[in-house]
Structure 1
Amino acid sequence: MEYRNLGNSGLQVSVVGLGCNNFGRRVDLDGTRAVIDACIDQGVNLLDTADVYGGEGASEELMGAALKGKRHQVVLATKFASPMGEGPMQQGGSR
């Protein structure tokens, strides 16, 4: 796998990353583990998720379980501020 520096952070990330938007919606915990393990085995270390992926944090929760004991092997990117509900405190980065 080829790696590149992530800005001036000192982190090196794989040129291929894994988008995790199907974890929780279409892929269960066993599937999440299988995909993440296969990626790590191939040298992929950049995983991308968001609070809205899978619905109400499901992707992040499944990834947390799948990465137990392996967190040091990946660079985990997540995003927030997309609407999680109808209320004013459920969107836009509100508390």
Structure 2
Amino acid sequence: MRFRRLGNSGLAVSVVGLGTNNFGTRLDAESSYAVVAAALDAGITLFDTSDSYGHSEERLGVALQGARDYVIIASKFGSDVRRRGLSNGADW
């Protein structure tokens, strides 16, 4: 896996990241954990989640136990897509 610097943060992240929007909706917990394990095995260190993805943040936290020292989690908040659809508008 190749890595790049994330802006001016000093963090190095994998050039491939894993979006977890299906973890809280379409995938059950065990399948979510299996996807994260496969991603870690492939060298992926960047994971994207959101509070609007159902149980995604919780499942990602469980799946990343023991790996938290070397992964980066990017999370978002503020848009309730369940309430208004994919408007991309801010809730605040």
List runs of 5+ in structure 1 lacking aligned partners.
none
1:75 partnered with 2:72: yes
RMSD: 1.7
List runs of 5+ in structure 2 lacking aligned partners.
84-89
TM-score scaled by structure 1? 0.81
2:91 matched residue in structure 1? 92
Task: List per-residue Cα deviations over 1:22-58 (Å, max 9, x = no partner).
Answer: 00211122111111111111111000011101x2xx1
| Percent identical | 52
Q: How many equivalent residue pairs?
A: 86
TM-score scaled by structure 2? 0.84
Deviation >3 Å, runs of 4+: none
User: Partners in 2 of 1:50 and 1:85 — Cα distance?
Assistant: 13
Name the structure where strand makes up a greater proportion of residues: 2
